[in-house]
A and B are shown apart, each in its own frame.
Chain A
Amino acid sequence: TSVPPQVVPGADSSARQLCFAWGPAEVLVCETLFGRAGGSRSRCLAGAAARALTDSVAGTEDGVPSSSCVFVVRRDQDIYIQTLRKLFNESHAIFMGLQRSEEELAGKSRKAQLVQVSKNYRSVIRACMEDMHQAAVSTRDPALQGQYSTQVSILSAMELIWNLCEILFVEAATAGPLLLRLLDWVRLHVCDVDSMVREVLSSESPSKHKLFWNVVDVFVLQGRMDEARHLLSKEASANPTSMNMYKILDDLMKKMPVPSLSNTQTLTELELKWQHWHEECQRYLQDGTFASSPHMESICKILLGDENAILEKKELMTTWYHFLVTRLLYSHPTVKPMELRFYAQSSMDLFLGGESSPEPLDMILMAAFEFEMHQVIKECSIVLSNWWFVAHLTDLLDHCKLLQSHNLYFGSNMREFLLLEYASGLFSHHSLWQLGVDYFDHCPEYGRVYLELHIERIPLSTEQKALKVLRICEQRQMHEQVRSICKIMAMKALRNNRLGSALSWSIRAKDAAFATLISDRFLKDYCERGCFSDLDLIDNLGPSMLLSDRLTFLGKYREFHRLYGEKRFPEAARLLLTLMTAHIAPCSFWMTLLTDALPLLEQKEVIFSAEQTYELMRCLEDLTAGNPDKQKFQDDDVETTKVEMLRLALARNLARVIVKEGTVEGS
């Protein structure tokens, strides 16, 4: 099958060449500066997976004449339909349930479980269809109404295909039950005649209604024998003259052998009974029992599986697959799965009769009847405007262990490929990105890489949202992304002058470099203002203080101030000295620390011991001598004065302490 080209509305490919770039879920297309060149090259966007539809014009590109636009071409447009969000969210829960489900369950119970999952998916589709239908009915905007109606028919087609796949692949119904399932399928989906049936049944006297026989035929064609007999009995009581004829037909219909779901009869038994019944019908038809009533004669012919008689009721069946199932019911009730393809093909040919060509939906159903699962998925990928359907169906079939032989020649297997596409679509959506995470989790080969690439592109509008994204990354040990998110948030906080917040983000990321940067800001603020901001944070750093040397210094320096404030001078002095001698304080801060020592040196009580005073002196000399900016100290009057004052204070303190220590030792 070749992929039909997609035209990007608004992009004038006749005037200019188009260029494009692939994105994770979108394609950017723009017009180039090149005029028409290269003759007959296709200017339409056509690629293996580009089921693209233009969504919006994003804006103009720099350096290109203003008429040029960049088009954002989305590959999964259904993601943006509001009503379908219910489908995405509910099916997400079913998908997760399926991934969790017990693979160990063997045989029948496993199959029952998978069939239940399939039914759950279908009921979500149906619920969505009802909502969409309601929306279509209640809106007054004709354009919107058209849109909704289109969606209803797409959803209904999806459910039709899914149901058939459920019967043929998931449940893998065998000869006998297979026909019953197909009958249910037809009854559920051929709804065009429902209104006619309702009209006739609700009329005062159904047998007088002009569509009476049509309704009887509908029931017979769908194998709804009890309903057909019930209607016929009404007609019979109105026509005593043909009572006998009715009785015979009623008897034939009652006696018709049907496959049973239980194992009480074997297929051979059924075939024997059926043969016998078939011959009985044949007898009545040939001896002209129904000759006086063309309606009843035609019903008898249908019972005999007469193709022409059935085909005459084309309008009442509306589709070739209804015709197929009716034909099977009356000619081959014990059809085996592998024989379906022959009947399907000929039914389609007979029904369409060369008047019209099959549509995509017909081709998909045909592929299913042919058990070409691969083809079903491929056709659906091309035709449907979403990845939801193929991704979930393929995943289910994969859990049924039906797709193992189908490995793609690129990337991983088909299941993963489709799930990745679907999840990428979710991630391109403003709100649905959270759902995408779990899908990526269940793609063993590339899921992780995709998640890493996508998660970094989620805009972090609030801290709450950032926390949610962060939680996703932390749960999956995505350290790189954790760091990056925290850094972004820390930077934002820093720009907003929220040093406290910035610090707690870098503590969360264990980002030592950034913690250092913020600590420096705190210290700079302190130097400028002479007091600390955000004391509530700095006083409560706890063990996180050890994250970076500078943060440790900040915490300890603040502790010094607290001790000083509480007049615990000896402890404060000891801590201050340790900050320098243990090289916890950065060199650039030593001058400040030494200045902080000044008031301690000037106290009435001697606080620094002789040994401590020597150490302070060494610190000061190290600073003035070893500093490459020595020049700076000499030039700067204030600094020079400060150094002089310190030297003086230190000398005096030394003098006092020698006297004091000498006195103490001497006494």
Chain B
Amino acid sequence: AMEDVSAKFVSQKISRTRWRPLPAAALQPPDIFATGSWDNEDNRISIWSASDLGNAGLNGEYHGEPHLLCDIQHNGDVMDMQFLDQERIVVASSTGTVTIFRHHQNNQTLSANHRWEKAHYHVDQDTSCGGAACTGVVCNNPEIVTVGEDGRINLFRADQKDAVRTIDNADSSTLHAVTFLRTTEILTVNSIGQLKIWDLRQQRNEPSQIFSLAGDRVPLHCVDRHPNQQHIVATGGQDGMLSIWDIRQGTMPVSLLNAHEAEMWEVHFHPSDPDHLFTCSEDGSLWHWDTSTNVSEKPSFLHQGGRSTAYLSHSTINQSVVSAWLSNDPTKDRMEITNLIPNQTLSVNSLDVLGPCLVYGTDAEAIYVNRQLFA
């Protein structure tokens, strides 16, 4: 419900919002999140607390808007951002630089921990200009993979000064986003509608597989992989289309779903409840895609998500979940979709979901936190 959403105007356009990951055995919902800004003369990385504990109500429920814990100046637009662990955030800049910031929780400060200057660049890395925007970053501690407008893929390790591996000219068009498929394989999407798999163990500087949209080659802007079933991949395109791919078969998407009217900037499966998927767009909407509506057909363990599925036979899973996302004809009774932001006019650039909590940021210079997503 909308009344569970708290908003804060922050006087800077928000390009990224990310929950801090929860410790392994955490019982509480997430509380701390990071934001990055873009298109300001002075861009910032900020750490926020979603629950204003100072204003906790009598019944212990949370009140009020998110409040700022600390922030730090960032050179260039924040293009992408990912927590490496509980304390460190990797930030991709429009200047081509990739920075690890550390959040010191004892005294609430941020500091630059490590920096790869101009990890992405045009023509010559050493010239004073010539940095190319780093458009995407993904972490699997200690590994960090970045992609950029220069079509380059970098593999870093948090503890190493130089890149472990660089694939120059990996893509002739702009790479817009990257995610891990498995520990040694990554997925990238580019501006000519292609989804590529790269195996980082192989020395060949070419993708191991290329998938592609048919027809007009609409640019793809974001990608996410199903947390439990790695062959299911979701991407979002310039026309706002959500594409679901089964990378085990074919070279084209299994289904194309239309809800947004402009660029889809981010797509995220819910990490522990992957029947739910969230997308946000330049058109100012944020859609919740829910395939769990047909509860009667499904074993209840799926709602708990996580490991329990591993003990069940594959056939059970295939019958239920696979039909949910990979069904060729996702009719309306199988998927329920809801716009969580009616009447918004400016772009929702970023969202992140964790547990029952959603955080998103907009070009209208506001951040929103919804703490009861499934209420």
Contact = CB atoms under 8 A, between A and B. Distances in A.
A binds B: yes
Interface of A: 82-83, 85-86, 89-90, 92-93, 96-97, 430-431, 434-435, 438, 461-465, 467-468, 471, 475, 496-501, 504, 533-537, 540, 542-544
Contact of B282 (A468, A504, A542): A468
B39 A501 contact: no
B122 A93 contact: no
Interface stretch (B17-25, B211-219, B242-250, B351-359): B211-219
Given A89-B365, A471-B262, A496 B132 contact: yes
Contacts of A475: 262
Given A92-B364, A465-B39, A504-B173, A498 B216 contact: no
Interface in B113-145: 122-123, 130, 132-133, 135
B173 A431 contact: no
Contacts of A90: 9
Nearest to B94: A462
B151 A498 contact: yes
B172 A499 contact: yes
Given A501-B149, A540-B212, A542-B216, A89 B9 contact: yes
Given A471-B263, A498-B122, A542 B215 contact: yes
Contacts of B217: 540, 542, 544
22 contacts: A86-B11, A90-B9, A430-B41, A431-B13, A431-B40, A431-B41, A434-B346, A435-B346, A462-B77, A462-B79, A464-B133, A471-B263, A471-B282, A496-B122, A497-B123, A498-B149, A501-B173, A504-B219, A533-B169, A540-B212, A542-B216, A543-B215
Contacts of B123: 496-497
Contacts, number: 125
Q: Shortest 4 CB-CB distances between A and B: which pairs? A: A500-B172, A534-B172, A496-B122, A85-B11
Contacts of B77: 461-462, 464-465
Interface string B219-246: 1000000000000000000100000000
Interface of B: 9, 11-13, 38-41, 77, 79, 94, 122-123, 130, 132-133, 135, 149-151, 169, 171-174, 191-194, 210, 212, 214-217, 219, 238, 262-263, 282, 343-347, 363-366
A497 B123 CA distance: 7
A462 B77 CA distance: 9
Contacts of B347: 434, 468
Contacts of A534: 172
Nearest to A86: B9
A533 B345 contact: no
A363 B263 CA distance: 50
Contacts of B344: 93
A603 B127 CA distance: 50
Given A431-B41, A435-B364, A462-B133, 17 more contacts: A92-B345, A92-B346, A96-B345, A431-B12, A434-B13, A434-B347, A462-B77, A462-B149, A463-B133, A464-B77, A464-B79, A475-B262, A498-B172, A536-B192, A537-B172, A540-B192, A544-B216
Contacts of B40: 430-431
- Tell me whether chain A's interface is mostly helix, strand or loop, or mixed: helix
Contact of A497 (B12, B122, B193): B122
A186 B9 CA distance: 30
Contact of B263 (A89, A93, A467, A536): A467
Nearest to A544: B217
- Tell me whether chain B's interface is mostly helix, strand or loop, or mixed: loop
Contact of A86 (B130, B150, B263, B365): B365
Contacts of B210: 536
B174 to A, nearest CB: 6
Nearest to B135: A464
A149 B25 CA distance: 49
B281 to A, nearest CB: 10
A86 B214 CA distance: 43
Nearest to A533: B172
A540 B122 contact: no
Contact of A504 (B169, B191, B215): B191
A542 B38 CA distance: 34
Nearest to B122: A496
B233 to A, nearest CB: 19
Contact of A93 (B79, B130, B364): B364
A498 B219 CA distance: 16
B34 to A, nearest CB: 19
Contacts of A498: 122, 149-151, 172
A468 B347 CA distance: 9
A542 B217 CA distance: 8
Nearest to A492: B122
A196 to B, nearest CB: 29
B194 A540 contact: yes
A405 to B, nearest CB: 31
A498 B151 CA distance: 9
A89 B133 contact: no
Contacts of B263: 467, 471
B137 to A, nearest CB: 14
Residue among A431, A435, A543 with max Cβ neighbours from chain B (10 Å) = A431
Contacts of B343: 93, 96-97
A468 B238 CA distance: 11
Contact of A536 (B132, B174, B194, B366): B194
A83 B11 contact: yes
Contact of B363 (A434, A497, A500): A434
Contacts of A537: 172-173, 192
B344 to A, nearest CB: 8
